[in-house]
């Protein structure tokens, strides 16, 4: 054993152990990058000195309102500066931030208020009707509203509530932050989409929030002073942790309230945006943007895409426009992304079609996670043969603490010592994972499994298709058959028969949709297609 057996005088103390937390990033940035631009939004510019001071004011003002360590403070905010400030100011007073999806219905928001037990709510003026309707549906004590008027879009305070700037004026810009004594302490309470029932509360800890940011620095190859555009809502997995991460590098966060192709191109051209994250629907919007919405830029923008597996056709079309895309994968329960399709130099010389197909892989585990493995039902890794299906199982420091007030669901999710993702995939011989479907999205037609992702990828190759989704439609003979829902590109035309014939040339007969429905697809705020709505529509056909 040697010296390892003798630990006399060795121990954890303040000199050699500090709890990991992303809160330390902003304090450091304010010290070493005080005049660097931290936030851009419309005409608003804030330095790191101002950013830290405003977060400090928020923390001390919340304490003045009676917020105690461990209390929940919620937000109903779009991607505006107050939402970024809340990510530091709320945990800086020891509270837990609960960023609520702004596109939820009043009944669900009321449930989140009750279940999460928020004491205070920071609410955008435009979202006050939603918050007030939610409170009418609550059973418990409603949170105190702090109104956040967005002057950049012409909001004026209603006067019915204390407004955000008045709250900050009550705070101390030099207030001491309450840093976690234990990095396992909760920093955020995030709710799942709740597509099959009430949303579940995912509890995240300071350690994971710190590590997901530092892992992203490595995975994205970030260097000092990146310029990050907030396309991913900060209410979604805390914006994949990117707002917490940016102060590490003295980066600039460009806030984007309304996500459109025009706004993205403008931000890149006007502010030199270098990085953003977004779902494949965002990539399609950029590809199909009208000429008048495009702006020229001379650099390559680095993009993380997630939320749904991107079609190879989308990846092939986006890169010539000046975007380098990396697919990442994760869940609310894993603090956002935990795998990446890490590019290998040996692939540089492959034809574009093959490169795009590789980029459509789900990828390998990122540095901040420990393991992401495809396993069978007995928790044995499946063969790395590029075809044997299993479920993605995850372990690591960026897995949630558990589901709030739901020990049964927590135990089920962590059964066997792994987090069960619910995503069906296989692994290539080189270890790269490829998702074929969510478990609930697999279509079983005549005893054969049909991957909706595969059919969607083939549909996206059609020049008229802008966006699509494939779900199961009940069938008397086969049990289920694929049914496609399609959004066409502006000015494009296609018929049901044409698309079915197009797919017959590319897919096995049992994989070919028997119906094609045209129209706008229902989407979440992050651009995910709401397949549960489409499944109901298909059942009613």
Q: pLDDT tens-digit profile of 269-298?
A: 999 999 999 988 899 999 999 999 999 999
Percent of the chain scoring above 90 in pLDDT: 84
pLDDT-based confidence at residue 195 (cuts at 50, 70, 90) = low
What pLDDT was estimated at residue 475? 86
Q: Is 21 left (phi over 0), alpha (psi -120 to 50) or beta?
A: beta
Query: What is the phi/psi pair of residue 321, to 5°?
Result: -85, -5
> Other C-beta atoms within 10 Å of 518: how many?
14
Whether the predicted pLDDT of 450 surpasses 80: yes
pLDDT-based confidence at residue 5 (cuts at 50, 70, 90) = low
What pLDDT was estimated at residue 1? 47
Cβ contacts of residue 360 below 8 Å, gap of 6+? 309, 310, 311, 312, 315, 327, 341, 434, 457
Query: DSSP strand E in 306-401: where?
Result: 323-331, 336-340, 364-365, 369-375, 390-396
pLDDT-based confidence at residue 183 (cuts at 50, 70, 90) = very high
Domains and CATH numbers, the chain: 42-207 (3.40.50.12780), 259-439 (3.40.50.12780), 442-540 (3.30.300.30)
Q: How far apart are CA 371 and CA 366, in angstroms?
A: 9
Query: Which is nearest to 43 in space by CA: 254, 347, 287?
Result: 254
Higher pLDDT pick, 154 / 3: 154
Mean of pLDDT over the chain = 94
User: Picking from 267-271, 423-427, 436-440, which range would have the lowest pLDDT averaged per residue?
Assistant: 436-440
Average pLDDT of span 465-474: 94
What pLDDT was estimated at residue 196? 53
Max alpha carbon distance in the chain (Å)?
78
Cross-strand pairs, 42? none
Residue 367: burial class (beta carbons within 10 Å; 0-12, 13-18, 19+): middle
Average pLDDT of span 299-328: 92
Look-up: residue for tokens 């010539």? 320
> Other C-beta atoms within 10 Å of 452: how many?
25
DSSP 437-493: EEGGG-EEETTEEE-HHHHHHHHTTSTTEEEEEEEEEEETTTEEEEEEEEEEPTT--
What pLDDT was estimated at residue 194? 61
Q: How far apart are CA 36 and CA 43, in angstroms?
A: 16
Q: What is the 3-state secondary structure (H, E, C) of 248-299?
A: HHCCEEECCCCCCHHHHHHHHHHHCCCEEEECHHHHHHHHCCCHHHCCCCCC
Q: What is the pLDDT of residues 7-59, one digit of tens each?
A: 778 888 999 999 999 999 999 999 999 999 999 999 999 999 999 999 999 99
Average pLDDT of span 202-222: 97
Q: What is the pLDDT of residues 498-528, one digit of tens each?
A: 999 999 999 888 899 999 999 999 987 777 8
Average pLDDT of span 222-226: 98
Whether the predicted pLDDT of 139 surpasses 50: yes
515-518 and 479-488 as β-strands: parallel, antiparallel, unpaired? parallel
User: Picking from 188-197, 238-247, 475-484, which range would have the lowest pLDDT averaged per residue?
Assistant: 188-197
Residue 357: burial class (beta carbons within 10 Å; 0-12, 13-18, 19+): middle
Average pLDDT of span 205-211: 98
pLDDT-based confidence at residue 4 (cuts at 50, 70, 90) = low
């Amino acid at each position: 054993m040697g010296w390892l057996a003798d630990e006399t005088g060795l121990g954890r103390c303040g000199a050699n152990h500090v709890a990991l937390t992303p809160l330390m990033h902003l304090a450091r940035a304010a010290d070493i990058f005080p005049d660097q631009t931290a936030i851009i939004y419309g005409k608003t510019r804030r330095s790191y000195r101002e950013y830290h001071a405003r977060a400090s004011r928020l923390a001390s003002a919340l304490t003045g309102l009676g917020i105690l360590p461990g209390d929940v403070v919620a937000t109903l905010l779009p991607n505006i500066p107050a939402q970024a400030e809340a990510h530091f100011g709320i945990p800086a007073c020891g509270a837990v931030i609960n960023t609520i999806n702004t596109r939820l219905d009043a009944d669900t928001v009321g449930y989140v208020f009750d279940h999460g037990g928020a004491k205070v709510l920071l609410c955008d003026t435009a979202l006050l009707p939603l918050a007030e309707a939610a409170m009418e549906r609550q059973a418990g004590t409603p949170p105190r509203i702090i109104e956040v008027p967005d002057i950049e879009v012409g909001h004026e305070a209603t006067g019915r509530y204390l407004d955000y700037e008045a709250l900050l004026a009550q705070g101390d810009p030099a207030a001491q932050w309450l840093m976690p004594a234990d990095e396992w302490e909760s920093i955020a309470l995030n709710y799942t989409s709740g597509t099959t029932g009430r949303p579940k509360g995912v509890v995240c800890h300071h350690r994971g929030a710190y590590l997901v940011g530092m892992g992203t620095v490595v995975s994205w190859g970030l260097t000092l002073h990146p310029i990050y555009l907030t396309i991913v809502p900060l209410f979604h997995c805390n914006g994949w942790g990117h707002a917490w991460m940016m102060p590490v590098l003295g980066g600039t966060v460009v806030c984007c309230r309304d996500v459109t192709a025009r706004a993205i191109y403008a931000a890149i051209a006007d502010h030199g945006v270098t990085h953003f994250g977004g779902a494949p629907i965002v990539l399609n919007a950029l590809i199909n943007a009208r000429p008048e919405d495009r702006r020229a830029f001379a650099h390559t923008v680095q993009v993380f895409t997630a939320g749904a597996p991107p079609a190879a056709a989308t990846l092939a079309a986006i890169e010539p426009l000046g975007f380098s895309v990396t697919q990442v994968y994760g869940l609310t329960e894993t603090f956002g992304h935990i795998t990446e399709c890490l590019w290998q130099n040996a692939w540089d010389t492959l034809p574009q079609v093959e490169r795009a197909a590789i980029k459509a892989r789900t990828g390998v585990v990122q540095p901040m996670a420990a393991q992401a493995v495809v396993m069978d039902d007995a928790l044995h890794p499946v063969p790395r043969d590029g075809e044997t299906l299993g479920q993605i199982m995850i372990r690591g420091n960026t897995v949630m603490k558990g589901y709030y007030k739901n020990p049964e669901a927590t135990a089920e999710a962590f059964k066997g010592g792994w987090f069960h993702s619910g995503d069906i995939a296989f692994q290539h011989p080189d270890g790269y994972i490829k998702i074929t479907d969510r478990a609930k999205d697999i279509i079983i037609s005549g005893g054969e499994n049909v991957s909706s992702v595969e059919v969607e990828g083939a549909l996206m190759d059609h020049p008229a298709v802008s966006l699509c989704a494939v779900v199961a439609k009940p069938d008397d003979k086969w049990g289920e058959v694929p049914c496609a829902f399609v959004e066409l590109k502006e000015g494009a035309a296609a018929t049901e028969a044409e698309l079915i014939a197009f797919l017959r040339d590319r897919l096995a007969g049992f994989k070919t949709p028997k119906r094609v429905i045209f129209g706008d697809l229902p989407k979440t705020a992050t651009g995910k297609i709401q397949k549960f709505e489409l499944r109901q529509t298909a059942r009613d056909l």
